[in-house]
């Protein structure tokens, strides 16, 4: 049901049948579907009888031929009530969606499952990316599963397990002194050569399609209700942008009402470009000048390419950034 790719900043449609990176204007591209046709093909009742993984939402995902679906059983993670912690922080009804249970140990696997599946469908044989660790581990695993080559560059200070996961999956690994932007520089030549397809955060349009399934699951697991607030640990913001996109697709389908949850971006005080931009009601986030890697290494992203989309989602839903 995928119809085209759209630039959320400058508007034009792009053909989705070829590999695509950013729009010419520098914005990420978003996948668009024939939602009226999806609504005729499937409904919440039929979804409920499907397998408990993210491919239950296949009509809302970009993979056309099921033969290209590359899966390690990702998705449908539990929403765990956290009543004692909720009472302590004065949030009755607090739920935690435990994404640590997906293959490779983070929600990066959702993006990799869908991103790799679509890359394979489009005939891509070699993917490459800079990463803070988890995305590289996930894409290395799914590329191996698909029989595609992967080249991953990550900071030498990234968690050792993510390095080992890349190597175990047979990816080519570059370790870099510095941060994720330095890792990007290390493979810039390979990407420019055209020999590998750039699957950096939001530089291809399908990783966000995998991560948006968190939004569908949250709603379905609550019995097709939206929560009041969704709090998201924000690095590149793919999950936040994806959840926002999922909710608006569900609205268009008429599967949820007009009320949207407030979306909240949480960042480390040592690297908080989105929070700083939000405080001044800015449309863009300036790069964070002196980021320090905290225990939450996955969110050390000093300059996110999807900054406008993240901020727009926060403003539009009456959310905030902390
Ligand atoms: C990547 C990552 C994040 C940030 O996710 P985005 O969707 O890129 O903002 C948060 N936590 C962990 C553990 C991660 O690996
Ligand atoms: Zn554009």
- Strand 172-176: give its sheet, edge to edge: 172-176, 149-155, 126-130, 197-198
Q: Looking at the CA of residue 241, tell me the nearest atom of ligand 1.
A: 7
Confidence of residue 279 (pLDDT cuts 50, 70, 90): very high
Give me the residues near ligand 2 (ion), CB cutoff below 5 Å.
7, 9-10, 23, 25, 27
Ligand 1 near 239 CB (within 6 A) = yes
Distance from Cα 257 to the centre of ligand 2, integer Å:
30
- Which tens digits make up the pLDDT trace of 92-141? 999 999 999 999 999 999 999 999 999 999 999 999 999 989 999 999 99
- Name the helix (H) or strand (E) containing 229: strand 229-233
- Name the helix (H) or strand (E) containing 31: strand 30-33
Q: What is the pLDDT of residue 179?
A: 85
Q: What is the pLDDT of residue 194?
A: 87
Phi, psi of 89 (to 5 degrees): -100, 10
| Residue to substitute in 98, 107, 131, 141 for testing ligand 1 pocket (most ligand atoms within 8 angstroms of CB) | 107
Q: Looking at the CA of residue 233, tell me the nearest atom of ligand 1.
A: 10
301 Cβ contact list (under 8 Å, min separation 6): 132, 180, 201, 235, 236, 237, 271, 273
Distance from Cα 233 to the centre of ligand 1, integer Å:
6
Confidence of residue 13 (pLDDT cuts 50, 70, 90): very high
Q: Judging by beta carbons within 10 Å of its beta carbon (0-12, 13-18, 19+), is residue 138 exposed, middle or buried? A: buried
Instruction: Supply the mean pLDDT for the chain.
Output: 96
- Which tens digits make up the pLDDT trace of 67-88? 999 999 999 999 999 999 999 9
Ligand 1 near 105 CB (within 6 A) = no
Has this prediction a pTM greater than 0.85? yes
Q: Is the separation of the CB atoms in 151 and 187 below 8 Å? A: yes
- Which tens digits make up the pLDDT trace of 191-226? 889 899 999 999 999 999 999 999 999 999 999 999
Ligand 1 near 215 CB (within 6 A) = no
Q: What is the pLDDT of residue 160?
A: 94
């Amino acid at each position: 049901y995928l119809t085209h790719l759209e630039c959320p900043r400058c508007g034009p449609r792009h053909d989705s049948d070829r590999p695509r990176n950013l729009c010419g204007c520098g914005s990420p591209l978003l996948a668009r579907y024939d939602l009226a046709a999806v609504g005729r093909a499937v409904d919440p009742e039929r979804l409920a009888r499907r397998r408990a993984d993210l491919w239950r939402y296949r009509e809302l995902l970009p993979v056309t031929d099921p033969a290209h679906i590359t899966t390690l059983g990702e998705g449908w993670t539990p929403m765990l009530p956290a009543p004692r912690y909720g009472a302590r922080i004065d949030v009755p009804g607090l739920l935690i969606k435990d994404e640590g249970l997906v293959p490779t140990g983070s929600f990066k696997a959702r993006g990799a499952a869908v991103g790799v599946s679509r890359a394979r469908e489009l005939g891509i044989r070699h993917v490459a990316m800079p990463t803070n660790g988890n995305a590289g581990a996930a894409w290395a695993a799914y590329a191996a599963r698909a029989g595609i080559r992967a080249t991953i560059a990550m900071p030498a200070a990234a968690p050792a397990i993510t390095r080992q996961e890349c190597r175990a999956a047979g990816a080519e690994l570059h370790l870099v002194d510095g941060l994720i932007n330095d890792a990007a520089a290390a493979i810039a030549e390979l990407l420019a050569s055209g020999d590998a397809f750039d699957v950096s955060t939001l530089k291809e349009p399908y990783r966000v399609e995998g991560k948006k399934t968190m939004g569908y699951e949250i709603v379905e697991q609550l019995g097709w209700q939206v929560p009041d607030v969704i709090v998201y640990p924000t690095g590149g913001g793919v999950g936040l942008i994806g959840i926002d996109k999922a909710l608006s697709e569900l609205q268009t389908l008429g599967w949820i009402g007009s009320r949207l949850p407030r979306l909240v971006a949480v960042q480390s005080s040592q690297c908080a470009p989105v929070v700083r931009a939000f405080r001044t009601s800015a449309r863009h986030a300036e790069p964070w000048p002196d980021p320090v890697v905290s225990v939450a290494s996955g969110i050390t992203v000093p300059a996110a390419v999807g900054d406008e989309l993240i901020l727009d989602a926060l403003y539009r839903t009456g959310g905030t950034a902390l």
